[in-house]
Structure 1
Amino acid sequence: MSQDYRAGRAWIVTAMLTLLMLINFLDKVVVGLTAVPIMRELGLTPREFGWIAGSFFSLFSVSAAVVGFVANRVATRWLLFTMAAIWSVIQVPFLFTSSAVIVIVCRVILGAAEGPGTPVATHALYKWFPDRRRNLPILVMNQGAVAGLLLAGIGIPWISDHWGWRMNFGILGVAGLVWCAIWLVLGREGSVARPNGTVPGASADMRVPYRVLLGDATILCTYLTGFVTYAGLALMLTWMPVYLQLGLGYDPIHAGRIFAVIVAVSAPVSLMFGSWSQRLLKRGTSSRAARAVFSSACVIGAGALLVGLLIQGLAPVQKVLLLAIAGAMPPVIYSLHAAILAEVAPDAQRGGIIGLGTAVSSLAGLIAPVICGQLVQVYSHPVSRGYEIGFAVAGLAMMAGGVAGLIWMKPEDSARCVRMSAAFGRRVGNRQSDLPATEQLIRKQ
């Protein structure tokens, strides 16, 4: 690959991937927004619905990791097409089934197909933009997720009210197939690689042992912070619509609108934070300050707000406000953390490292809804208490993960160590220089 940046084509691909993220998050949230009628029709308890919500993530992590590594060698254009096609077809059984078992099976398959969606799309987009231009396009792509949640909050309750909850799944299937058809025409593979850098022996196709990457503190902290943040996201997607209805007493239409408002608040905040981070980079601010510290502070603040739901005497509108602000702050980490991983990992291993990060993060999606379901069933008086305890537990975890990120995420140091490791391996492997010279180079760096 060469440093071949073509702005027009790059932004067309960005637009298509933004639409893909919109569909992706509609798929994720549809069960949460149809939870009440599904629970009533299928006769499910909160604990049982928690298992259904968590089932989506049972293979999500595995597939994100596996396909992430496949993306190192297979064209992302065809991986994305295949995944989107599976998302679309698997919606069909929801139109007919009344079996909780079939619902679980379909959600497991859907999760397995959607797990690699974000990391592969991110890897694909990074092939179109050089490092210093990556924050904004990734942030724009992630706004597809925000738009999907906003559209879901308004549209899904309305569709359910007019045509029943099943129709939502049919519409999502058609939307996915339409995207696949357009992607066959417009989807292309990018050709941008990072410059060779200043470390002798490093190159655009360099590789280092995965034990070096997975032992790096920056990479591990992005995984940890992503995990605790995803716990909060999973609760927002699966239990917040139910909490608004059964916990705070809003009817389905108003609950959907409140959900949409909460999502709408996050969009400009996330864009503002992402743009702010990119401006800091352009002014010469370190990646640690502009990406690592910035994102960690957002996670800590959001976690504290979720813990605030436990404050006695809060009115429903005050609780909604806490959820809105808490939901607005963390999404910026998905663009900033992806940029950090891409900064540290070699291009040839970027897909696998980002995919593995998504795999680790999404494990929280398997665990958090189940734990919240248990808490809702145990703490049922008042009705809202179990939901609020579940959100607060996620908030405490987010605060701890954010503090770890503040302390140990140092992208520049990690990137330098990875480049030196690559240079060392290349020199030793090719036997083009002696060991003392290489060791001297590392000491100087």
Structure 2
Amino acid sequence: MSSENYFPKRYFMVAGTFLLALLLYIDRICISVAKEPISSSLDLSDKQMGWVLAAFSLGYAFFQTPSGLMADRYGPRKILAGIVTIWSAFTALTAVAWNFSSLLVVRFLFGSGEAGAFPGMSRAIYNWFPLKERGVVTGINFSGSRLGAAFALPLVAWMIEDLGWRATFLILGGIGVVWAAGWYLLFRDRPEDHKSISEAEKAFILSNRQDKKVSLAKEKISFRQLSKSKNMWLAMGQYFCSNFTFFFALTWLFPHIKKEYGLETVEAGLYTAVPLIFGAFGNWFAGWLIDRIFKKGDWDRSRRLPAALGFALAAIGLVGSIFMDSAMGAILLLSIAIFGADMTLPPSWAFCVDIGKKNAGAISGTMNMAGNIGAFITALLFPYLLDWTGATTLFFIVGAILNIIAIFLWSKMRPQYHFTEY
């Protein structure tokens, strides 16, 4: 029985990780939509809210590599179920913040909890999917995060208006606990251990996987080993540039568009959902392009070309948005920028699985740590540059320059070499 004669059960695992990414970004972007009522309730300035948004990124960055190491060592089943439970608790605890300091601490811990999500997914993908399907699966997962954010903007805006921001955070926290329970009950770390996977599908996965046999990573890897890898540094550098662009869409785009063009809350949510939907399309397109090029036998180009094209579009969109005088024009150009920025995600995470293999969690976590240092800088730089210059122009120019630098970095990356070899 060939793998084409039935619906592969491994795609149910993709449905689970897609829903995880959806939930991840609904919980993450809620703070941006709730900026005004939280600021009003807790008497916070824009700069203080910048620190609240940045605190998430800092916690998220610091715990990326440790979370990835845990996923490699203990398996994505336990780790993903555990971290979703933890971050859901801190989502709910956001509702009880009473001042700037308490909100800062809760959002830092929330970011720390979310840190293991994508590294855990990377390890699950390495265990479950053939190399030739890696691009599409990664693209589907990341599109979930973008659709989650897009879906959350108008939905959460409506929930906050009707229920209040505190009740909204409590409800979202409860939803996460439900996902964690379902994942732990239904998922297994390896297809070999899942009773509902047919023998034909197991044989197909094992014969087409990057490594025929996988196990949990028992040996420890150190930061010293990672720091010697040229591939690792290049991956970190380009992902820093990517996150600088995208994190703007998650943090300051909503309040910026709302204030700049005098929009109502729900209207602003609908406008700012558009770039995130374009981001989902960018993930799908890049994932398809990766696998199409890979099937032609060009492993290096299958990662580099989608990434370079994405960074070029991101730079063009950011610079073009500076010259727009209407909300519609600005959203159109920023949609191009986010489409491009998200095109860089599937090749970046596929690259981490390529060079990391059974250490894919640690490698992808380290890359994501660097990316979220970029996100941390974005969250702070936007309000400070706006206050300093009185305009957003300089911020968008800085983002465009970083995207151009990333194209050069990708030209030096080698996906066929393990991180210990290059």
Out of 295, 315, 340, the position equivalent to 2:307 is 295
Q: Distance in 1 between matches of 2:183 and 2:326?
A: 47
CA contact (8 A) 2:126 2:360 kept: no
Q: Distance in 1 between matches of 2:226 and 2:85?
A: 33
CA contact (8 A) 2:286 2:347 kept: no
- Would you say 1:322 and 2:338 are equivalent positions? no
- Give the residue type in structure 1 aligned to 2:385: L
Q: Distance in 1 between matches of 2:71 and 2:279?
A: 30
- Give the residue type in structure 2 aligned to 1:338: W
CA contact (8 A) 1:307 1:393 kept: no
Closer, same or farther: CA 113–212 of 1 in aligned 2, 3 Å: closer
Map 1:133-212 to 2 at 5 A. 133-191=133-191, 194-195=210-211
Out of 257, 269, 277, the position equivalent to 2:270 is 257
- Would you say 1:226 and 2:239 are equivalent positions? yes
Residue in 2 that maps onto 1:437? none
Residue in 2 that maps onto 1:308? 320
Q: Distance in 2 between matches of 1:99 and 1:209?
A: 39
Residue in 1 that maps onto 2:291? 278
What secondary structure does 1:219 align onto? helix
What's the Cα RMSD here?
2.5
- Give the residue type in structure 1 aligned to 2:379: P
What secondary structure does 1:17 align onto? helix
Q: Distance in 2 between matches of 1:22 and 1:204?
A: 27
Out of 343, 350, 359, the position equivalent to 1:339 is 350
TM-score relative to the length of structure 1? 0.83
> Residue by residue, what CA displacement relative to the aligned partner does 1:74-111 show, whole Å, maximum 9, x if unpaired?
12100111101111111233333332221111101100
CA contact (8 A) 1:60 1:112 kept: yes
Q: CA deviation at 1:148?
A: 0.7
Closer, same or farther: CA 205–177 of 1 in aligned 2, 3 Å: closer
Residue in 2 that maps onto 1:69? 69
Map 1:374-413 to 2 at 5 A. 374-380=384-390, 385-386=391-392, 388-405=393-410, 407-412=411-416
Residue in 1 that maps onto 2:119? 119
Q: Distance in 2 between matches of 1:32 and 1:72?
A: 32
Residue in 2 that maps onto 1:441? none
Q: Distance in 1 between matches of 2:91 and 2:340?
A: 31
- Give the residue type in structure 2 aligned to 1:260: A
Q: Distance in 2 between matches of 1:15 and 1:259?
A: 26
Closer, same or farther: CA 210–112 of 1 in aligned 2, 3 Å: closer
5+ residue gaps in structure 2?
Answer: 1-5, 192-205
TM-score relative to the length of structure 2? 0.88
- Give the residue type in structure 2 aligned to 1:255: A
Q: CA deviation at 1:308?
A: 2.5
> Residue by residue, what CA displacement relative to the aligned partner does 1:387-443 show, whole Å, maximum 9, x if unpaired?
x432332222122122222x312323x34x856x9xxxxxxxxxxxxxxxxxxxxxx
Out of 245, 249, 256, the position equivalent to 2:258 is 245
What secondary structure does 1:61 align onto? helix
Q: Distance in 2 between matches of 1:394 and 1:361?
A: 13
What secondary structure does 1:80 align onto? helix
Q: CA deviation at 1:331?
A: 1.3
- Would you say 1:368 and 2:389 are equivalent positions? no
Q: CA deviation at 1:50?
A: 0.7
> Residue by residue, what CA displacement relative to the aligned partner does 1:301-333 show, whole Å, maximum 9, x if unpaired?
20232123333x633321111111111122132
- Give the residue type in structure 2 aligned to 1:292: R
CA contact (8 A) 1:46 1:377 kept: no
Residue in 1 that maps onto 2:41? 41
CA contact (8 A) 1:75 1:189 kept: yes
Closer, same or farther: CA 218–357 of 1 in aligned 2, 3 Å: same
Residue in 2 that maps onto 1:438? none
Out of 214, 220, 235, the position equivalent to 2:248 is 235
- Give the residue type in structure 1 aligned to 2:360: R
Q: Distance in 1 between matches of 2:59 and 2:280?
A: 29
Q: CA deviation at 1:251?
A: 1.4
CA contact (8 A) 1:138 1:335 kept: yes
Residue in 2 that maps onto 1:215? 228
More displaced 10-residue stretch of structure 1: 225-234 or 270-279 = 270-279
More displaced 10-residue stretch of structure 1: 34-43 or 73-82 = 34-43
- Give the residue type in structure 1 aligned to 2:375: G
What secondary structure does 1:113 align onto? helix
The percentage of counterpart residues that share the same residue type is 22
5+ residue gaps in structure 1?
Answer: 1-5, 198-202, 422-445
Q: CA deviation at 1:142?
A: 1.3
- Give the residue type in structure 2 aligned to 1:296: A
> Residue by residue, what CA displacement relative to the aligned partner does 1:11-59 show, whole Å, maximum 9, x if unpaired?
1111111111111111211111111222222222221111111011222
Closer, same or farther: CA 166–369 of 1 in aligned 2, 3 Å: same
Residue in 2 that maps onto 1:266? 279
Q: CA deviation at 1:266?
A: 2.5
Q: CA deviation at 1:213?
A: 5.2
